[in-house]
Amino acid sequence: MPADGSPPPRLCGADHGSLRPRRAPLAGAPAGPSAGVDGARGRAAHPGRGRRAAAHRVRQHLWHAGGGVMRGSGKQRDAQAIAHHYDVSNEFYALFLDPLMLYTCAYYREPDGKLEQAQEDKVDLVCRKLRLQPGETMLDIGCGWGGLSIWAAQHYGVKAHGVTLSRAQAEWAQARIKREGLEGRCVVEHRDLRDIPEGARYDKIAAIGVIEHVGIANYRAFFGRVRDMLNDGGLYLNHGIHHEFHWKHTSQTDFLYRYVFPNGDLSGVTETLTEMERAQWEIVDVENLRLHYARTCRHWVERLEARADEARALVGEQIYRTWRLYLTCSSVAFHGGSIGLWQMLLRKQWDPAGPTEPTTREDIYS
C-alpha cells in the first residue's frame, strides 16, 4: 500500500471474510481469531514448534492490547495485558518500527516524509508543545521503549522519568539509555503509574497512546492523579485515539474494537475534554492528527511487508497475516474518519496572573 497520502485500498470480497474468526476460542478466552485469520488465498501454514510460543503471545496481544493503566480490573491484570502486548519480542516490533521504537502516530512535516523523520518530528513536537526547558523534570506515562524520554533528555536537557508495564520495553530502554550515556538524566522503569510515590512532582507530564486503555469510567481518577503529580502551572500533553461523535460501525471499526481494543475504551473528543475540565484542568490547545496516523499505519504495513520472511520466521504465517490485517484496518479507519488521533495540551491552573509561555503557536511550528 502506498504511504504517499493516497487513499488506502478498500477491504472487500475475501478480505471481509478474513475479519471473522475461523473457530471458537478455548473456554475462558475472549471470542476472536485465536487460530489465525483466513485470507484470500486460504488457510495459513501451521507454525513450527520453535515459533509456537511466540505466535501464541502475539495472538494474545490482539485480545489484551493496551491493558489500561487505571483499569478497575487491577494492577495484576493490567501488567499481564501489557506483557501480552509488548513482551512478545522486541525483534518483531523492530521489523516495522523506526529506530526510536515509537509505536504511536508520527508527525509528517513533509508530504513525502519518511517514517524515521516523522517520528523524530513527533517527539520533538511533543517537547515543543510542553515547552521543555533544561533542568525541568518530565514524567513519560506509558513510555514504551523510551523514545520520548530519551529524546527529551538528549535534545532538551530535562530529567526524564518513563514508566511502562512491559518488562521487555523497560529492559530495552535501559540498555539504550546506557549506550547513549544518559544515566542520571533519563530513567525508564518497569512500574505501574499507581506505584509512583504520592509526593512525586514533575514540571511536565506526557501520556502518549495511553488514554485508549485507561477506561472511560476511570477518566476522572486518571486525570486527577496526573494533575496531583504536576507542579503548579505545569503542562500535560495527552496524545490518544478517539472516535467521532457519530460513531459508524463498519467491518474495519468492529475489527479494531473486537480484536485490538477489547480491554480499552475509545471515547469522543467532547467527552474527554469534559472530564478534563471536571478534573480542574485548563485546556490550552487541541490538535487533530488523524491523517498522520493513517499514513503512519500505511508505513508500518509497508515496512512489515518488506520484511515478511523475517516476521514469519519470528512468529509464523498466521500471526504475520493477522498483524498485516490489523494495521491495514487501522489505516482504513483513520483515513475514513471513524477514529482520530488528538493531542490535547492542558495546564494545571494556579496563578491568576496568567501563564508565562508564549500566547501563540508560532514557537511550536516554526
**CA 103/CA 96 separation, integer angstroms:** 10
Assigned domain for 1 exists:
no
Q: Which of 334, 195, 335, 191 is nearest to 266 (CA)?
A: 334
> 52 in a domain, yes or no?
yes
Does 172 fall in a domain?
A: yes
Q: Residue 140's domain spans which residues?
A: 33-351
Residue 248 contacts residue 309 (beta carbons within 8 Å): no
Judge whether 358 lies within some domain: no
- Whole-structure pTM over 0.85, yes or no? no
Q: How many domains does the chain have?
A: 1
Assigned domain for 17 exists: no
**Which residues are CB-contacts of 352 (< 8 A; sequence separation ≥ 6)?**
none
Give the start-end residues of each E strand in the chain.
137-141, 159-164, 186-190, 202-208, 230-243, 281-288, 339-348
- Please indicate, yes or no, if residue 141 is contained in any of the structural domains: yes
CATH number at residue 111: 3.40.50.150
Task: Please check whether residue 365 lies inside any domain of the structure.
Answer: no
**Sheet of 137-141, strand order:** 186-190, 159-164, 137-141, 202-208, 230-243, 339-348, 281-288
Assign 210 to helix, strand or coil: coil
Using an 8 Å Cβ cutoff, are 173 and 149 in contact? yes
271 found inside a domain: yes
pLDDT tens for the chain, 366 residues long, are: 455 555 444 443 333 333 333 333 323 333 333 333 333 333 344 445 555 555 445 444 443 433 334 444 555 555 444 444 444 578 999 999 999 999 999 999 998 999 999 999 999 999 999 999 999 999 999 999 999 999 999 999 999 999 999 898 999 999 999 999 999 999 999 999 999 998 999 999 999 999 988 989 999 999 999 999 999 999 999 999 998 765 566 666 666 666 655 566 788 999 999 999 999 999 999 999 999 999 999 999 999 999 999 999 998 888 888 889 889 988 988 998 888 999 999 999 876 666 677 778 888 887
